[in-house]
Amino acid sequence: MILASTAVGLLIAMAFALTRAIKGPTVYDRILASNALGTKTVLIIAVLGFLVGDPGHYIDIALMYVLIGFIGTIAVLKVSEFGDLGQTQPVDSEPPK
Amino acid sequence: MSTALDFLSGALLLIGIFFTLVGSVGILRLPDVLSRLHGASITDTLGAASILLGLAVAAGWSLLMGKILALLVMMVLLNPSASHALARAAIHGIRKPWLERESD
Amino acid sequence: MLSPRFHRGHKSPEPPIVRKTVSLFFVLAGTWLLLSGHWSMLLLGLGLASVLLVVFCARRLGVIDDEGMPIEIIPGLVRYAPWLIQQIILSCLDVSKRILNPTMPISPAIVHIEAGQKSDMGRVSLANSITLTPGTISLDVGHDTIEVHALTAESAASLADGEMARRVHKKVEGE
């Protein structure tokens, strides 16, 4: 019962984040919203595992989702800032001493 | 499982869902990207930690609890890095954040 | 830990590398056991083989150093964590109240705070603590200062007070 209401609450929160992703004026709003959406997806996968009675496998999926979501956010940010995944430093940064 | 642990787990889940919803409302309501990051960080810290701790209490002493706690540690380590990268990119990208004294 | 800034490029093999290698082995083995959950001889053998392969590769790459395997700061982090958790809960409640308030009394500001940390790890800990606390986000980490975006003037003031920097300095860097 409490698990089901947690899942419903997470779905409502995801709807809010999705609204921001659709509305967001700048590209950073959309990246922020998709990052928040990823966090809530991890939580809902974990809760769903307990709901359907097979938490062990669902937690493994959630663990992988955290890592992939982090790498995805960083990659999208890097492309949006440098226009290239291969560049290692900002153009205007100081060289290491 | 005893009733006290059930109650603790339910209370943690309720606290977590409350803060997750508040963080999402913050993402919708706050005026610009850097302010919205503060709303997202409520969800990332207290919301996620409460929900995962509630699930860990529900799981009881097992390997599953260890996995849930590992998931919690991973989120606590990774989310600030993503937030910092996003804030840094945003401050370079938008160049003019919404500040109180400018709106007056 | 007390060594000056870490330079990639010319690093000499230091005595604690054996300890770091052994602790890397145990961390990897623990991760394998936690994620697998099977105790048959075949899977344990495969796990041992992969752990040894990863330790060998890390040793050859030279990434087992203060940055790659920071075991010295773990006791400090454990001592620092309770205060940080308390701060996170307090500022979560504060930011939540402001978000739910219909008039939304926020006053975003960008401030520079002093970071007296000597080591890279200390600065990273401080910047991560700032970002982890709702209401403040670190924007840019320099040598002596950290640029911070704060949601309210109060959170900016409490950060400029330097309590967090002092605690990171005392507990994490252990000086």
pLDDT bucket at C5, cuts 50 / 70 / 90: very low
For helices B48-59 and A27-52, the axis angle rounded to 10 degrees is 10
CB proximity list for A35: less than 8 A, separation 6 or greater: A69, A73, B40, B82, B86
> From the candidates C32, C95, C100, C159, which should be mutated to test the interface with B, based on the most B CB atoms within 10 A?
C95
Which candidate from B17, B59, B63 shows the least CB-CB separation from A10? B17
Query: Which tens digit of pLDDT belongs to each residue from C24-64?
Result: 999 999 989 988 878 889 999 999 999 999 999 998 988 88
Query: Which tens digit of pLDDT belongs to each residue from A8-43?
Result: 999 999 999 999 999 878 888 999 999 999 999 999
Q: Rounded to whole angstroms, how far apart are CA atoms C81 and C73?
A: 12
Query: Which tens digit of pLDDT belongs to each residue from C101-158?
Result: 888 888 888 888 887 767 777 888 888 888 988 888 888 888 788 888 888 888 888 8
Report the pLDDT value the prediction gives residue B34, as an integer from 0 to 100: 86
Q: Rounded to whole angstroms, how far apart are CA atoms A3 and B10?
A: 8
For helices A55-82 and A27-52, the axis angle rounded to 10 degrees is 170
Amino acid at C146: I
Which candidate from B19, B29, B42 shows the least CB-CB separation from C104? B29
**Is the CB of C100 inside 8 Å of chain A's CB atoms?**
no
Report the pLDDT value the prediction gives residue B99, as an integer from 0 to 100: 66
Q: Rounded to whole angstroms, how far apart are CA atoms C154 and C158?
A: 6
CA-closest candidate to residue C140, choices B20, A46, B84: B84
Chains touching C by CB (3 or more pairs below 8 Å):
A, B
Q: Are C1 and C175 a contacting pair, CB within 8 Å?
A: no
Residue contact C35–A56, C-beta within 8 A: no
Which secondary structure element, helix H or strand E, spans residue C113, and what is its range? Answer: strand C109-114
How far does the CA of residue B99 sit from the closest CA of chain A (Å)?
Answer: 17
Contacts of B64 in chain A (CB under 8 A): 55-56, 59
Report the pLDDT value the prediction gives residue A91, as an integer from 0 to 100: 55
Residue B60, phi then psi, degrees to nearest 5:
75, 180
Q: How many CB pairs under 8 A join A and B?
A: 132
> Which letter, b or e, does each residue of A41-58 get, where b requires 16 or more Cβ atoms within 10 Å of its Cβ?
bbbbbbbbbbeeeebeeb
